[in-house]
Amino acid sequence: MAKVTATEERFGSGQGRCSAAIGAVLILSFGLLKSVSAVPQPATANPPPTLQETGLYADFAALQVDPAHLAFAPQYPLWSDGAAKRRWISLPPGTAIDGSDPDAWIFPVGTRFWKEFSFNGQRVETRYLERRADGQWLYAAYAWSPAGREAQLVPVRGKRGAYPLAGGRSHMIPGVTDCKACHQGGPSEILGFSTLQLSPERDPGALHAELQPAPGLDLRYLVDTGLLVGLPQALLDAPPRIAAATATERSALGYMHGNCGHCHNERGSLQNIGLVLRHSVKTAGEPAIASTVGQFVKKPAPGQSPNAVLRVEPGHPERSGLMQRVSSRYPALQMPPLGTELIDDEAVSLLYRWIAEKGASSQQAHVNKEGE
């Protein structure tokens, strides 16, 4: 694969980062951030001290997940340094998700989500979300013991050194503030359980795609079982998919939706940057193309090369600002700014190929026009 050489990929360990740097990194995300609304205040109740007490397992000693919980897999998963993930949702009996706004589902009070992270077959952490009676979401993360027999609540600031990674780095279990920086960056705090992510029209080229666990939970399943109400019928008749000129483009836009769109969207605190990487099932066209291809970088980040003046320059991935951000783990330059210590080489390859192909298609269109 062709390498992006304009950007330094490693500038020492990310372990010295602190939560105070998060805001600065987000502000440098392709432009200056103006004043933003205050983030919602946290729920008052405290999370249980152990994972066992959250109710995920019917038999914790045997690590048998309660069959009442539904396993699912989004079609465009968030990449977390190669971690294998399992996910579950639990709705209170007799309740349903309100899908009348297909871009921002409303979950009933008592909804619970779990997401398990494993590296090389070893459980490392399980994250937990619960919608409380006040409508707010409770955030918690549980660190597994090395033997994998118990999982304790981590401090609100998170836990460093949870699992060793390549290059002397290590997986960090994020703190509550870090979690909210992503989850509260858009129209819904739930990121991987949505209209596009659960569309039956799944992308066969989706990067880091996971097998759908039984019962094959998707939009049709949720509606047929009465767990999702209000979803426009048109989205069942023609399941949503990303509109793209090529299979490469569909996968590239899907990757950015799942890994970047929770912050870079038209309704979150970064909306004034004008970088929209979140797919909307209610909007015609793809804003991820309109806001990147041929669009100027508003404010270069530290470490970005001077010739990277466009977010995406068709035919020139090596001098596209987007490529330099995803290809770096220098704290002030890297994207995403949180949740990853290693460069996602497969994503770099995919995005590089997409930008190169955009140049070829533009040249062909120019040739065709001249021949008319």
Distance CA 266, CA 330 (A): 27
Share of the chain above pLDDT 90, in %: 80
What mean pLDDT do residues 223-230 have? 98
Predicted TM-score (pTM) of this structure: 0.86
- Give the C-alpha distances (Å, rounded to integers) separating 142 from 50, 151, 290: 7, 5, 40
**Lowest mean per-residue pLDDT among 35-44, 49-58, 101-110, 345-354:** 35-44
**pLDDT surpassing 80 at residue 1:** no
Nearest of 183, 199, 203 to residue 191 by alpha carbon: 183
pLDDT at 186: 87
Q: 259-307 pLDDT, tens per residue? A: 999 999 988 788 889 999 999 998 878 999 999 999 999 989 999 999 9
The 10s digit of each residue's pLDDT in 103-124 is 999 999 999 999 999 999 999 9
For residue 343, pLDDT beyond 80: yes
Residue 15, pLDDT > 80, answer no
Q: Is the pLDDT of residue 240 over 90?
A: yes
Reduced to 3 states (helix: H, G, I; strand: E, B; else coil), residue 224 is helix
Joined tokens for residue 271:
């909306």
* Pair 366, 358: CB distance under 8 Å: no
**Do residues 312 and 358 lie in contact, with contact meaning Cβ atoms separated by under 8 Å?**
yes
- Average pLDDT, whole number, for the chain? 88
What pLDDT was estimated at residue 372?
Answer: 54
pLDDT tens digits along 204-220: 999 999 999 999 999 99
Q: What is the pLDDT of residue 33?
A: 31
CA dihedral in degrees (180, 186, 191, 196; nearest 10)?
A: 180
- Domain borders along the chain are 2-37, 51-237, 247-371
Kindly state the helix (H) or strand (E) to which residue 98 belongs, with its residue range.
strand 97-98
What's residue 285's pLDDT? 85
Contacts 24+ apart (CB under 8 A), 158-165: 160/15, 161/15, 162/124, 162/125, 163/119, 163/122, 163/124, 165/81, 165/119, 165/341, 165/342
User: Is pLDDT at 223 greater than 90 in this prediction?
Assistant: yes
Which amino acid is it at 352?
Y
What would you report as the CA-atom Rg of the chain, rounded to the nearest whole angstrom? 21
Class of residue 161 by CB neighbours under 10 A (exposed 0-12, middle 13-18, buried 19+): exposed
**What average pLDDT score do residues 55-82 get?**
98
Give residue-wise pLDDT tens across range 152-205: 999 999 999 999 999 999 999 999 999 999 999 988 999 999 999 999 999 999
> 3-state class of 53 per DSSP?
helix
CA distance 295 to 277: 13
Residue keyed to tokens 């998707």: 218
pLDDT at 76: 98
Q: Give mean pLDDT, residues 85-100.
A: 98
- Block residue for tokens 């020492």: 12
Which of helix, strand or coil describes residue 229? Answer: strand
Q: Work out the average pLDDT over 322-336.
A: 96
Q: Give per-residue burial for 235-252: e unless 16+ CB within 10 Å, then b.
A: beeebbbbebeeebbbbb
Look at residue 70 and give its three-state secondary structure: strand
Provide the pLDDT for residue 267.
82
Q: List, in sequence order, every residue forming a beta bridge with 138; answer none if it has no partner.
A: 130
- Identify how many contiguous H helices and E strands the chain contains and give both numbers: 8, 12
Q: What is the pLDDT of residue 361?
A: 63
Q: Provide the terminal-to-terminal Cα distance of the chain, rounded to the nearest Å.
A: 36
Catalogue the E-assigned strands of 121-179: 122-131, 137-144, 151-153, 159-164, 170-173
- CA 357 – CA 218 distance, rounded (Å): 32
Residue 40 above 90 pLDDT? no
- % the chain with pLDDT above 70: 85
